[in-house]
C-alpha cells in the first residue's frame, strides 16, 4: 500500500481519485507545521503540496520512503529540487491545470491597465466623479509582446488576438512555423522591449531569468509601454520597476507575483497609481483548483504505480504510452549497468551509451538514468537511485554520452555500453529476446548469450577442454545448482568467456576453488 500525505488544501475531486484505489492510503494534514512534517515524512511514499508547504532539504533528509512530490500548480519554487534529486525523489507539477485561469487573469490585468479600472472604482467609491482623469486606451491595433510561448503564453496570444492586437513573442524552444500557426511572430527580446505596447512574461524563474527585465531592458521600452507579470516574482526587477514607474519612464505595470510572498506592503509598488497589484490570483479560480487537483492526483498515482511520469522537473516526463514502449529497456539497462559495475577495473572516467534500432526513436533519457543507476549500484548501494544517478556521475566527474544510432546493427534493438576507466576499457552489448527479456550478447569482444538474472558467475578461461566439467564439479560439491551456462570465445585457442547462472549465492570458498582451477584466469560472482 502506498501512503500519500496531502499537506495543503486539495479539492475533493483530486482526493477522490486517490482514495478510490485500495492501494492508496491518503492522509490530509493541511497546514502541517514544518517541524511536524519533518518528523512524519519518513512514513510516506508521496507528498502533495500547493504553495503553502516549503519542502526544504532539512525535511527531505528524513524522507527515506518518499518517491514523489506532487505540486498542485505550476511553480516548484517551494520545493528544493536539488535536495529532492539527491534523495531520489521525483518532483512533479501541473502545468496544464491552470492555463486558462492564468491566461484570463493576464488579459484581465491588461484590460485593467488599459482602462484604469481599479483606480476608477476606488475613486467612485470615495464619492468622486472623475471621468476625464481615467481616460484609457484601446487594445485594438496595439502590439503585445509575449516572453515565453508555452501553454499559458500561447493561450494569452490567442485571447489577445480577439481584441485585434498584433502579437509578437520570444521563445528559444519554439519554431517559427508553430508560432506562426498561432498568429505570433517570433522576434528577439530586444525587439519586444523596443516595439511592444504591452509586455507580458510567461517563463519559469531560474538563475538566467531572475531580474531579466531590469533598468537596461526598461530603458529600451516606449514611454507608453505597460508591463505585466503573472508568472513568477523576481523575473522583473522590482526596484528597477519602481524607479521606472515613479519617473513615468513607462506607462504602467500590473503584478500578480512578487519577489517575496506575502510581499512587503511598505513597498512603493502598492502606493503607485500606475501599478496594479493582485495577490497571486493567476490560478485562483474554482475550475483551476479542481483541474490541478485532478491532474496531480493522476500524476502521483501513475508514478507510484509504475505507469509513467509526467511533468517532472527532475526526471524525463513520460506518458503511459511512452513508458510502456521503453519499460522493457529500463530493465535491460539496469541489468547491463549492474553487470558492468561488478566487472569493470579501475575508476570510471567516461560512459558512452549507444541506442540502436527502434529504441533509438524513443525518449531514452530515462533508460540512460536506469543504466547509470545500475552501474553505480555495486559501488554506492542504496544511496544511488534512478533520479540521482546522473547527478552522482556528474559529481564524480564522469562524462556520460548518450548516442542515438540510425544505423542498422547486429540486433533489431540494442544498447551498447562502452566504459573508459583509468585501467582498461570495458564494453557490453545488450538486447531483448523475442519475449522482451533482457539478454547480454557481447562482453568486450566476445559474443555470449547470457541471461542477466539473479546469482551468476563470470569466468575468463583459456579455451581448453574440461573447463565446463571442472566448474560443474566444484559447484555440485557445494550443492549449488546450475540454472544455465553460456560460452563464448573471440577465437580458437584464445581466452573464452563462461557465464553461469546459479540458483543460490556462491560462497567465497567456492570462488577461491574456481580461481585455483587450471586454465581459469578470472572469476567473479555477480548478482543482478
Q: How far apart are CA 468 and CA 339, in angstroms?
A: 22
Return the CATH superfamily for domain 316-444. Answer: D-3-phosphoglycerate dehydrogenase; domain 3 (3.30.1330.90)
Residues 340/416, Cβ–Cβ less than 8 Å: no
| 320-349 confidence digits (pLDDT tens) | 778 888 989 999 999 999 999 999 988 888
Residue 41 has pLDDT above 80, yes or no: yes
Q: What was the pLDDT predicted at 88? A: 85
Q: What angle, rounded to 10 degrees, do the helices at 99-115 and 117-125 form?
A: 60
Q: What was the pLDDT predicted at 408? A: 67
In this chain, the answer to whether the domains covering 2-95+288-304 and 99-277 adopt an identical fold is yes
In a 10 Å sphere around its CB, with 0-12 CB exposed, 13-18 middle and 19+ buried, how is residue 117 labelled? middle
Q: What's the rounded mean pLDDT across residues 58-87?
A: 90
Residue 99 has pLDDT above 80, yes or no: yes
Architecture of domain 99-277: 3-Layer(aba) Sandwich (3.40)
Cell triple for 225: 509601454
**Which pairing describes strands 198-201 and 143-147: parallel, antiparallel, or unpaired?**
parallel
* Most confident region among 31-35, 73-77, 169-173 by mean pLDDT: 31-35
Closest CA to 96 of 151, 17, 49, 159: 151
| 364-407 confidence digits (pLDDT tens) | 999 999 999 999 888 777 667 788 788 888 877 889 999 998 77
Q: What was the pLDDT predicted at 356? A: 93
Specify the CATH class of 2-95+288-304 in words. Answer: alpha beta
Q: Name which of 194-203, 329-338, 488-497 the model is least confident about.
A: 488-497
Q: What was the pLDDT predicted at 268? A: 93
- The per-residue pLDDT of the chain, averaged, comes to 92
Q: What was the pLDDT predicted at 310? A: 82
Q: How far apart are CA 373 and CA 333, in angstroms?
A: 9
Annotated catalytic sites, by residue? 232, 261, 280
Q: What's the rounded mean pLDDT across residues 38-42?
A: 96
Three-state SS string over 315-382 comes to CCCCCHHHHHHHHHHHHHHHHHHHHHHCCCCCCEEEEEEEEEEHHHHCCCHHHHHHHHHHHHHHHHHH
Q: How far apart are CA 528 and CA 516, in angstroms?
A: 25
Distances (CA, A) of 418 to 21, 71, 148, 196, 428: 43, 38, 39, 52, 7
CB count within 10 Å of CB 285 equals 16
| 223-266 confidence digits (pLDDT tens) | 999 999 999 999 999 999 999 999 999 999 999 999 998 999 99
Residue 495 has pLDDT above 80, yes or no: yes
Q: What's the rounded mean pLDDT across residues 453-468?
A: 92
Q: What was the pLDDT predicted at 383? A: 62
- Beta-carbon contacts of 325 under 8 Å, excluding residues fewer than 6 positions away, are 362
As a residue count, the chain comes to 528
Q: What was the pLDDT predicted at 172? A: 76
Q: What's the rounded mean pLDDT across residues 285-298?
A: 94
C-alpha neighbours within 13 Å on the C-beta side of residue 271: 8
Q: How far apart are CA 496 and CA 488, in angstroms?
A: 6
Q: What was the pLDDT predicted at 76? A: 81
pTM for this prediction = 0.64
- Residues 480-515 as b/e (b if ≥16 CB within 10 A, e otherwise) read beeeebbbbbeeeeebbbbbbbbeeebeeebeebbe
Q: How far apart are CA 338 and CA 219, in angstroms?
A: 57
Domain residue spans of the chain: 2-95+288-304, 99-277, 316-444, 453-528
Q: What was the pLDDT predicted at 312? A: 84
| 125-170 confidence digits (pLDDT tens) | 999 999 999 999 999 999 999 999 988 999 999 999 999 999 999 9
Secondary structure class of 497 (helix, strand, coil): strand
Cell triple for 75: 511553480
Closest CA to 243 of 214, 266, 270, 285: 214
Q: In the structure, what pLDDT confidence band is assigned to residue 173 with cuts at 50, 70 and 90?
A: low
Q: What was the pLDDT predicted at 132? A: 92
Q: Which fold has domain 453-528?
A: Alpha-Beta Plaits (3.30.70)
Amino acid at each position: 500500500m502506498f501512503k500519500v500525505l496531502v499537506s495543503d488544501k486539495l479539492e475533493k475531486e483530486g482526493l477522490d481519485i486517490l482514495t478510490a484505489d485500495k492501494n492508496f492510503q491518503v492522509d490530509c494534514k493541511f497546514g502541517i507545521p514544518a517541524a511536524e512534517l519533518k518528523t512524519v515524512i519518513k512514513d510516506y511514499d508521496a507528498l502533495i503540496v500547493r504553495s503553502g508547504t516549503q519542502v526544504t532539504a532539512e525535511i527531505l533528509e528524513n524522507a527515506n520512503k518518499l518517491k514523489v512530490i506532487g505540486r498542485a500548480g505550476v511553480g516548484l519554487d517551494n520545493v528544493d529540487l536539488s535536495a529532492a534529486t539527491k534523495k531520489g525523489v521525483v518532483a512533479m507539477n501541473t502545468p496544464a491545470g491552470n492555463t486558462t485561469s492564468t491566461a484570463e487573469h493576464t488579459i484581465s490585468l491588461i484590460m485593467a491597465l488599459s482602462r484604469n479600472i481599479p483606480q476608477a472604482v476606488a475613486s467612485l467609491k470615495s464619492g468622486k466623479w472623475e471621468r476625464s482623469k481615467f481616460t484609457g486606451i484601446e487594445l485594438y491595433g496595439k502590439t503585445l509582446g509575449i516572453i515565453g510561448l508555452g501553454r499559458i503564453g500561447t493561450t494569452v496570444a490567442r485571447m489577445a488576438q480577439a481584441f485585434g492586437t498584433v502579437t509578437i513573442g520570444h521563445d528559444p524552444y519554439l519554431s517559427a512555423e508553430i508560432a506562426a500557426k498561432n498568429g505570433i511572430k517570433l522576434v528577439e527580446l530586444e525587439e519586444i522591449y523596443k516595439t511592444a505596447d504591452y509586455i507580458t512574461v510567461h517563463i519559469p524563474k531560474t538563475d538566467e531569468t531572475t531580474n531579466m527585465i531590469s533598468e537596461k531592458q526598461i530603458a529600451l521600452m516606449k514611454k507608453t509601454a505597460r508591463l505585466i507579470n503573472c508568472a513568477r516574482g523576481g523575473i522583473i526587477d522590482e526596484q528597477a520597476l519602481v524607479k521606472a514607474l515613479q519617473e513615468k519612464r513607462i506607462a504602467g505595470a500590473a503584478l500578480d507575483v512578487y519577489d517575496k510572498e506575502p510581499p512587503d506592503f511598505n513597498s512603493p509598488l502598492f502606493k503607485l497609481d500606475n501599478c496594479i497589484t493582485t495577490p497571486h490570483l493567476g490560478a485562483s479560480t474554482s475550475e483551476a483548483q479542481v483541474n490541478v487537483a485532478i491532474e496531480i492526483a493522476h500524476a502521483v498515482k501513475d508514478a507510484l504505480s509504475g505507469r509513467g511520469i509526467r511533468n517532472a522537473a527532475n526526471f524525463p516526463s513520460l506518458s503511459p504510452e511512452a513508458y510502456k514502449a521503453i519499460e522493457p529497456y529500463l530493465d535491460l539497462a539496469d541489468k547491463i549497468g549492474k553487470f558492468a559495475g561488478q566487472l569493470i577495473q579501475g575508476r570510471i572516467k567516461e560512459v558512452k551509451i549507444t541506442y540502436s534500432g527502434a529504441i533509438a526513436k524513443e525518449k531514452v533519457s530515462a533508460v540512460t538514468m536506469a543504466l547509470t543507476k545500475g552501474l553505480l549500484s555495486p559501488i554506492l548501494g542504496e544511496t544511488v537511485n534512478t533520479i540521482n544517478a546522473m547527478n552522482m556521475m556528474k559529481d564524480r566527474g564522469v562524462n556520460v554520452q548518450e548516442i542515438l544510432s540510425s544505423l542498422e546493427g547486429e540486433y533489431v534493438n540494442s544498447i551498447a555500453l562502452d566504459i573508459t576507466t583509468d585501467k582498461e576499457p570495458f564494453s557490453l552489448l545488450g538486447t531483448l529476446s523475442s519475449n522482451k527479456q533482457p539478454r547480454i550478447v557481447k562482453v568486450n569482444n566476445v559474443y555470449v548469450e547470457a541471461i542477466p538474472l539473479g546469482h551468476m558467475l563470470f569466468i575468463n578461461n583459456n579455451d581448453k577442454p574440461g573447463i565446463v566439467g571442472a566448474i560443474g564439479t566444484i559447484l555440485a560439491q557445494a550443492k549449488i545448482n546450475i540454472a544455465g551456462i553460456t560460452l563464448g570465445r573471440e577465437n580458437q585457442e584464445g581466452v573464452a568467456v563462461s557465464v553461469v547462472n546459479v540458483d543460490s549465492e556462491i560462497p567465497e570458498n567456492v570462488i577461491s576453488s574456481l580461481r585455483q582451477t587450471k586454465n581459469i584466469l578470472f572469476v567473479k560472482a555477480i548478482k543482478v
